[in-house]
């Protein structure tokens, strides 16, 4: 997996930007600690594991891009999207 370039939050989603130009996204509701964190706590992240993971020290939470990439949207959400 490529290294992490950035982390951002848009509306109700966590988005991780990777060094290869890709971005991974998942709903914040999937991560209760981050969902309940303040904007400042969410912004206080740092890379971990030689850039292969993310750590939020203020909420003692970790995430790897692999775990985020495994997110599969609810089938009902996919069916509701217009093509």
Say what the pLDDT of residue 54 is: 94
Which pLDDT value is given to residue 83? 42
Q: Give mean pLDDT in consecutive 10-residue pieces for the chain, a chain of 83 residues.
A: 88 90 89 89 92 92 85 53 45
Fold of the CATH domain 4-80: NE0471 N-terminal domain-like (3.30.2020)
Q: How is the chain split into domains, by residue range?
A: 4-80
- Specify the pLDDT at position 41: 94
| pLDDT score, position 81 | 46
pTM recorded for the entire structure: 0.78
- The tokens for 51 are 């850039």
pLDDT for 79: 44
pLDDT score, position 51: 84
């Amino acid at each position: 997996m490529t290294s992490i370039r950035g982390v951002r939050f848009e509306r109700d989603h966590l988005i991780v930007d990777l060094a290869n130009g890709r971005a991974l996204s998942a709903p914040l509701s999937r991560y209760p600690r981050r969902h309940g964190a303040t904007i400042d706590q969410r912004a206080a992240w740092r890379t971990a594991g030689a850039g292969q993971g993310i750590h939020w020290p203020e909420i003692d939470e970790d995430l790897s891009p692999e775990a985020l990439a495994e997110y599969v949207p609810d089938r009902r959400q996919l069916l509701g999207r217009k093509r």
